[in-house]
Structure 1
Amino acid sequence: MFRTGRHRPAPDGGFDRRLIAPMVLGSVLNPINSSMIAVALVPVGAAFGAPPAETAWLVTALYLATAVGQPVIGRLVDTYGPRRLYLTGTALVGTAGLLGALAPSLGLLIAARVLLGLGTSAAYPAAMHLTRSEAERTGQSSPTGVLTVLAVANQTVAVVGPTLGGLLIGMGGWRTVFAVNVPLSLACLVLGTVRLPVAEGRHGRPGRLGRPGRSGRSGRSEPTGSPAGTGSPDGTGRSDRLDHAGIALFAVLLLALMLFLMKPDPARWYLPLLAALAAAGFAVRERRARTPFIDLRALAGNRPLIATYLRQLLGCTAIYAFLYGYTQWLEEGRGLSATATGLVLLPLSLTALTVAGATGRRPAVRGKLLVGSGCQVAACAALLLVHAASPGVLLVAVGVLAGVSQGLIGLGTQTALYHQADQAAIASAAGLLRTFMYLGAMAASAATAAFFPHGATTGGLHHLALFMLGGAALLFLLTLPDRSLSRLGTPPQQG
């Protein structure tokens, strides 16, 4: 798999731990940029005289770019190897950070967020590719410790992002949340150049995204057929053909839908029509393409996995609506500074990390999702009690409830996906799980813009809370009757 170069296998024959630093640092670039911007929306709007409906595009632009870019760059990683894409992506992050730090207008700031979305899409699939390659090199199953480190690192920076962003803004203004990407990018470039292997692209045949793989005696999943958007059904196993038409239709679908949701108006009737046409064209294209962008046939054959993607969408919609909406309200409706807002949200971060650490090794997927969605319902209901004169203890308590739900729902969906998806295509399945996370974040951004058309008022927060409450209740009702979740992670019974 690896050509002779800078990379030297670990002396003990195990996973090369020198790869962990660039893998972790690169993969956290997306969640840290996703969450830090929450406390910068109000000062950015004040700087450019833009209402929340316009500054919300700083959130939407990154997620729109990443939702499309993640699976596309994942394909490129398989074709050209992780090193090249990792270095290119992290260099783009630094360029975007510099552009955002110097941007003279909101339009250029949004462009910088698009570049950030594309640049931060490279490191996670590169990390998954490296993990899989190391597993093949050592002849062992993928090291759960390394995967856990990646998951915890991403969740950690996501929940501490608002606090970090508030501290940066307090020290140097809102432009520092963009400028911080420059040193992070340089660190990734140095670590990537020194430690990442010079590797050839993978041209093997991973399994289908929607079908559980077969495990041999070694515990590794064996391929079950042509891949889900990452391989070729012609028997060659080559994966270097991109479904450009499918990618374009997927991008048009998301863009048209978000343009309408950001500003619903009967006069813009053509946008939902365009989204519907793009969705129909995408479905037809993906069913006929030899190397589809997303293999809809394979995905349709795995209903438990579809349910997991739906849970991810519902859970992340409420989580990010809370993150963006509650944060803006604390600054505008409650009158707190960006630094004080970050400190108020700090218990949310600590609670999410504590819950994740305490329950991470337990296989109770259904229990995590039920308790997590129940706490999410409680957090959304508690928002209806919040007003401009609410005591600080109530503001913190609402965040603690949201932290419990965030820690449990994230763990539950990831664990469910690990057991439901074909292990030979686990990276593709995980990438699509992230896409549904981004879709939820975009829906949350659209909802925030819709309920805060002229500022983050208390009335707007309560309407947003009702919207979140509906999604959290659906998540609970989708999980409650699903007994199959109770069997995930348990050893099969012998006959």
Structure 2
Amino acid sequence: MSNKPRTGLAVAGLSLGTALNPLNSSMIAVALVVLRADFGLDVATVTWVITSFYLSSAAGQPLMGRLADRFGPRRMFMLGMALVAVTCALAPFSPNFALLCVARAVMALGTATAYPSAVVMVGDIAHRAKLESARPLGRIQMANTSAAAVGPVLGGLLVGFVGWEALFLVNVPLSLAALLIVRQTAPADTARERGSLAELLRDSDIPGILAFVSSLLLVMMAMLDVAPGYRWYLLGAGTVVAALFAWRELRFSPPFLDLRLLGRNRPLMLVYVGFAVFNGVYYFVFFGLPQLLQEAGGYDPGLVGLLMLPMATLSVLSTPWAVRAMGRFGVRRVMIAGVVLLTGAAALTWLLTASLAVPLVLALTALIGIPYGVVSIASNQGMFVSTLPQERGVAAGIFQTCRYVGAITATVLIGVFAGSGVDQESWGQMVLAMLVLSAVVFGVTLLWRERRD
């Protein structure tokens, strides 16, 4: 096989593996109402099937990026895909909701290997094919962006025709295909560090990972008021653990989350903050709208998936346009344009408090899809140009963590605003929250400048 086809197949395999994390984070959106009915849950409880995935992903992405740098990206990629295949084959047999959330967390850990490993491998693939790294990276970025957008459509069809179990089973052939393609076509890992299991555990900053997850968990439990009468205690404990986490990460080497990298790189820090808050806005719509349409509008999951199709379509179509626009106008201008569109689209979703008519829903989901594609790819490129080559594996992992922090924030706030169900009144409150967050994203984006060494 010639070099060019092998390069294309390698990028395709990496893109497929990369797509699994955002795909699984988004397919579940149209299954929440079905899961509530099957397991007898309220809105706040069912969101744990989302947050368990995001917590595991948030902790896993930076860690897997560092392990890919240390032990080899190809090896870590294949290990992650194997974990996904096994977990998703067993998950449909979960006897209760708690085990289902555990399965989602394990699956998330497996998918978390893909993106940082792919970013590390891009350099070798591009060098072997004598290409600019921006070309294969752009394809992987587009797969990462597009998968999250098409998730509700695919999820709606799977849930409507088969059931929520299909959301797991569909990952088995996809992950195995990604594993086999990368195994056959991706360049072998170069010499990496070797050491004992004890050394690996010592250097993996397990206390830092536990403190990071614990702080997020405690704050979420406080916001969802899972222990009535103890909300402020939980919030205080979460704040203290977060402070201890930051203190440790600044003193431990190598840290789980490299806060020093952010401290010495202001452009990268601004990209992270803006991307996290942007996802907080987007996932309000992404997870809140399907529940609104099913509960207040009475639409079935299959139809809801189709109503979300314009969001997926416009997101995919806007991504290559944004890539070309960045080449002409620069990353910052494209990012600002996307944030302005996001704010306008979020404001217009207020119309759903008066009507859930199909034409209106289709128009609004299409409008939301454009800024999602634009801001996602611009932020991704902003991260890439704001880091040095030797830092990109870890930086890519932290970038994905910011996506999950934003999504977790949105799901928690949905539980706060709509504890007994998403209706048009609670949707109005969510729109106000989206506008506040949009203003924050706009301010952060204005401050960002491309790093110039």
- The TM-score normalised by the length of structure 2 is 0.91
Matched to 1:339, the amino acid is G
Residue 75 (structure 1) shift: 1.7
Q: Specify the alignment match of 2:440 in structure 1.
A: 474
Please give the alpha-carbon distance, in whole angstroms, between the structure 2 residues aligned to 1:194 and 1:141: 20
Residue 135 (structure 1) shift: 4.8
Please give the alpha-carbon distance, in whole angstroms, between the structure 2 residues aligned to 1:291 and 1:60: 27
Does structure 2 retain, via aligned residues, the 8 Å contact 1:334–1:388? no
Whether 1:256 and 2:246 are equivalent positions in the alignment is no
Please give the alpha-carbon distance, in whole angstroms, between the structure 2 residues aligned to 1:248 and 1:386: 40
Q: Specify the alignment match of 1:241 in structure 2.
A: 203
Please give the alpha-carbon distance, in whole angstroms, between the structure 2 residues aligned to 1:338 and 1:290: 47
Q: Specify the alignment match of 1:26 in structure 2.
A: 17
Aligned match of 1:48 in 30, 34, 39? Answer: 39
SS of residue in 2 equivalent to 1:114: helix
Does structure 1 retain, via aligned residues, the 8 Å contact 2:7–2:185? no
Q: Specify the alignment match of 2:169 in structure 1.
A: 179
Whether 1:296 and 2:259 are equivalent positions in the alignment is yes
Q: Specify the alignment match of 2:341 in structure 1.
A: 375
SS of residue in 2 equivalent to 1:360: helix
The alpha-carbon distance between structure 1 residues 478 and 127, as it changes in their structure 2 partners (threshold 3 A), is closer
Q: Specify the alignment match of 1:86 in structure 2.
A: 77
SS of residue in 2 equivalent to 1:384: helix
Please give the alpha-carbon distance, in whole angstroms, between the structure 1 residues aligned to 2:9 and 2:171: 23
Does structure 1 retain, via aligned residues, the 8 Å contact 2:68–2:393? no
C-alpha RMSD of matched pairs (Å): 2.5
Does structure 1 retain, via aligned residues, the 8 Å contact 2:6–2:185? no
SS of residue in 2 equivalent to 1:373: helix
Residue 24 (structure 1) shift: 1.2
Aligned match of 2:50 in 41, 55, 59? Answer: 59
The alpha-carbon distance between structure 1 residues 74 and 477, as it changes in their structure 2 partners (threshold 3 A), is closer
Sequence identity of aligned pairs in percent? 34
Please give the alpha-carbon distance, in whole angstroms, between the structure 2 residues aligned to 1:281 and 1:125: 26
Please give the alpha-carbon distance, in whole angstroms, between the structure 2 residues aligned to 1:198 and 1:356: 31
Q: Specify the alignment match of 1:154 in structure 2.
A: 144
Gaps of 5+ in 2: 195-199
CA shift digits 1:399-440 (9 cap, x unpaired)? 122112111111221122222222331222122111111100
Q: Specify the alignment match of 1:285 in structure 2.
A: 248
Whether 1:202 and 2:192 are equivalent positions in the alignment is yes
Matched to 2:399, the amino acid is L
Larger helix proportion, structure 1 or 2? Answer: 2
Q: Which moved more, 1:58-67 or 1:305-314?
A: 305-314
Q: Specify the alignment match of 2:197 in structure 1.
A: none
Does structure 1 retain, via aligned residues, the 8 Å contact 2:318–2:374? yes
Please give the alpha-carbon distance, in whole angstroms, between the structure 2 residues aligned to 1:36 and 1:187: 19
Matched to 1:278, the amino acid is V
Residue 193 (structure 1) shift: 3.7
Which of structures 1 and 2 has the bigger CA Rg? 1
Please give the alpha-carbon distance, in whole angstroms, between the structure 1 residues aligned to 2:17 and 2:112: 9
SS of residue in 2 equivalent to 1:386: helix
Please give the alpha-carbon distance, in whole angstroms, between the structure 2 residues aligned to 1:40 and 1:410: 24
Q: Specify the alignment match of 1:457 in structure 2.
A: 423
Does structure 2 retain, via aligned residues, the 8 Å contact 1:75–1:239? no
Please give the alpha-carbon distance, in whole angstroms, between the structure 2 residues aligned to 1:429 and 1:339: 37
Whether 1:434 and 2:425 are equivalent positions in the alignment is no
Please give the alpha-carbon distance, in whole angstroms, between the structure 2 residues aligned to 1:327 and 1:393: 15
CA shift digits 1:176-235 (9 cap, x unpaired)? 11111122222233324433444245359xxxxxxxxxxxxxxxxxxxxxxxxxxxxxxx
Q: Specify the alignment match of 1:224 in structure 2.
A: none
Does structure 1 retain, via aligned residues, the 8 Å contact 2:125–2:187? no
Q: Which moved more, 1:323-332 or 1:280-289?
A: 280-289
* Count of aligned pairs between the two proteins: 444
The alpha-carbon distance between structure 1 residues 11 and 324, as it changes in their structure 2 partners (threshold 3 A), is closer
Please give the alpha-carbon distance, in whole angstroms, between the structure 2 residues aligned to 1:473 and 1:137: 44
Aligned match of 2:410 in 437, 444, 455? Answer: 444
Residue 297 (structure 1) shift: 2.6
CA shift digits 1:44-67 (9 cap, x unpaired)? 111111111111111111010000
Does structure 1 retain, via aligned residues, the 8 Å contact 2:39–2:96? yes
Residue 266 (structure 1) shift: 4.5
Residue 239 (structure 1) shift: 12
The alpha-carbon distance between structure 1 residues 358 and 290, as it changes in their structure 2 partners (threshold 3 A), is closer
Q: Specify the alignment match of 1:415 in structure 2.
A: 381
Does structure 1 retain, via aligned residues, the 8 Å contact 2:142–2:377? no
Q: Specify the alignment match of 1:143 in structure 2.
A: 133
Does structure 1 retain, via aligned residues, the 8 Å contact 2:78–2:183? yes
Does structure 1 retain, via aligned residues, the 8 Å contact 2:54–2:405? yes
Residue 129 (structure 1) shift: 2.1
The alpha-carbon distance between structure 1 residues 170 and 129, as it changes in their structure 2 partners (threshold 3 A), is same
Does structure 2 retain, via aligned residues, the 8 Å contact 1:252–1:278? yes
SS of residue in 2 equivalent to 1:289: coil
Residue 165 (structure 1) shift: 0.6
Does structure 1 retain, via aligned residues, the 8 Å contact 2:65–2:396? no
Please give the alpha-carbon distance, in whole angstroms, between the structure 2 residues aligned to 1:59 and 1:96: 16
Please give the alpha-carbon distance, in whole angstroms, between the structure 1 residues aligned to 2:144 and 2:31: 20
